[in-house]
Chains A and B, each alone.
Chain A
Amino acid sequence: MDADAPYSQIVYLVFAPDVVGKAIVCSLARKFDLEFNILKAQITPRQEGAMTLELSGSAAAFQAGLDFLRDQGLKVSPAAQRITRDEASCMHCGVCTSLCPARALHLDRVSREVVFESEKCTTCGLCTQVCPVGAMQARIENGAEEAAEDA
């Protein structure tokens, strides 16, 4: 992937009791120029904490930021964001194929339909922004969906 390409992913962070008190997440913005959106957070002083973050920035900054979080002793795992397509709504126009970095969305040259190969999808979510009829939808698992709705 292009290191400068815009990138967005949702990650699930687990803070061990000894790092719960440290200011870590703010460094993602200060040191790595990453935007973060807290979708869910549950942090109790001196106990284990967990946070679901949506991180946006360049792909290179995203990798560097994740390495930094791991160096600080956090457990980092991709939150199970899943992209789905509302088949009844999709018009098969093809606009989504312009931004899909993984080519999970592409046009079948014979049928001229837009094919969605979910196994290739990196869940970057760009298609959900560009689809003119909102047929591409992001579903966030790990309980983050509830938090997003509450926000």
Chain B
Amino acid sequence: MAERAHSGPLAFPLQENPLRERRVIFRRYGRNALIAVLLSMMFYHIFVVETDWVRMGGIREIISTAAEFWPNPAFIPIIIDPLLETLLIAFWGTVLATMFAMPVAYFSARNTSPFYPVVYLFGRSIIVLSRSTHEFIFALIFVSALGLGPLPGILALGFRSIGFLAKTTSEVIENVDRDPIEAMEATGANPISVFMFGILPQIYPIVVGNVIFQLDINLRRAAILGMVGAGGIGYVFSEQMQAYEWNNAGTVVLGIAVMVIMGEAISNRIRVRLISGVGGDSKGIE
């Protein structure tokens, strides 16, 4: 409309322009029709062409197959150790990630990064690399480099989590109150002391909250890392699946669910305490 205003007088008012009317009709109905056609094509492809309805059988058969995954209580003692291993992989992976994420965060926060933008871009690339690579990719790399076991799992989770922790932490660093930092600089403190006294006290509740959140996510990730040989409960699951031991596989699924729910309950409680400052003299996150 705006460009027409300069092209001389119009033969008729805009509202009555028949061309425009036709375009509006297409926009209203044509586009919806196009979406409907595309959706039905997708539906047809997935549910008619690609699904083997004959093999699936009737509803009764589906239910009875699913029921074969009913957990086997006798398998519970066998999954305890791998579950604990999973917990440890998640824990140490998160610890490792936190250790590396803090300097990366310092380098990729605009207000603290030395020699801006050289080191800043380096830090940001680490974040992007870590966040855009699936933990299975890291796990496969470390399994081939170090062999089977929990260590490649820990490294995989560590590398996978650096990105999230460094990104969130660098954003918190960028938003700190500058006044105390100015005061620290005025005392003649060097940059590391300024960070420890001026910045860290301001950011730690949020950072600790994010680390616990990451630990919670890593517990889920650690539960499947074993499928590619990186230790933990995932290996037991794929082993039982390959042996057609559906009940045992069901037990594993139940075990993972219990562990994840417990982990989430505990981490939520800690994070709420951190944020609301219950039990401490903290006033919480501004």
User: Are these two chains actual partners, yes or no?
Assistant: no
